[in-house]
Amino acid sequence: MLENISSTKVSGGWHKQYTHQASSTHCAMRFAIFLPPGASETNKVPVMYWLSGLTCTDENFMQKAGAFKKAAELGIAIVAPDTSPRGENVPDDDNYDFGQGAGFYVNATQAPYNVHYNMYDYVVSELPALIEAHFPVTTKKAIAGHSMGGHGALMIALKNPKQFVSASAFSPIVNPINCPWGEKAFSNYLGSDKASWLEYDSCELMKNAVTDDYLPMRIDQGEADNFLTEQLKTENLFAVVNEKDYPAEINMHAGYDHSYFFISSFIDEHLMFHKKYL
């Protein structure tokens, strides 16, 4: 049961927020959708799913990215889920980089997180089915994200290359098994067996990708990003892209940091990139 909690006209289309009871996360979830002008049952539009980063909700991208004008022009819907399950009964942590607001887009296997923290199933299966059942969209999907959400977008696309036509990311955590954010999240959500971590690591997934499953990717990274060296590890993905001859375009940008100022500077290019495949 979808409950519409906000509806605002923007760039000729509509930005709407909904809540619903999710079976994958066993709690109420919130998402936002932008429907471009002209979207209707007789004129269905493709969708770009956007996954946000640590501490974010469905609101950060929608309010800060400045994506509506170009998405309206291109006829692309945008869906932004929350970054984790939430609620009084959902386990949390006092630190910003774990727990609520930090689901890391995995299916947790460790108690107490395994009941609610199934963001992988939510983003890959439950949410798209819900969107396609209730809104005027086609089954053509692209996926994009920022930071932790960039990790989610690339990882999910690599694991589901027939479900998405393209993937893009800003400042993604590309090698979470080898950075403090990823190690903390994976050890708590997935346990101490590091073999289980590999299935959620973009570098490892790309190493094992077969040519028939390659899909176009675009990654943009600011060179002034405080997290670049310790957490994001862009150079590790560069190495795999070159080794595999994978169709991923990686752009480094002098002076840009990790913020939505960076995202808003290049979001139009990402939308135009996805439009080529949608």
Q: What span, in angstroms and rounded, lies between the C-alpha atoms of 231 and 146?
A: 13
Q: What span, in angstroms and rounded, lies between the C-alpha atoms of 81 and 130?
A: 12
Q: Residues 166, 220, 225, 274: which is the catalytic one?
A: 225
Task: Please say if 151 is a catalytic residue.
Answer: no
Residue type for 10, please? V
Task: Please say if 225 is a catalytic residue.
Answer: yes
Q: Residues 15, 116, 146, 258: which is the catalytic one?
A: 258
Q: What span, in angstroms and rounded, lies between the C-alpha atoms of 56 and 152?
A: 14
Q: Residues 147, 168, 171, 202: which is the catalytic one?
A: 147
Alpha helices in 110-245 (DSSP H): 119-121, 127-134, 148-159, 180-190, 202-207, 234-244
Task: Please say if 258 is a catalytic residue.
Answer: yes
Q: Which two tokens stand for residue 176?
A: 């979470």
Alpha helices in the chain (DSSP H): 59-64, 68-74, 119-121, 127-134, 148-159, 180-190, 202-207, 234-244, 260-275
Residues noted as catalytic = 147, 225, 258
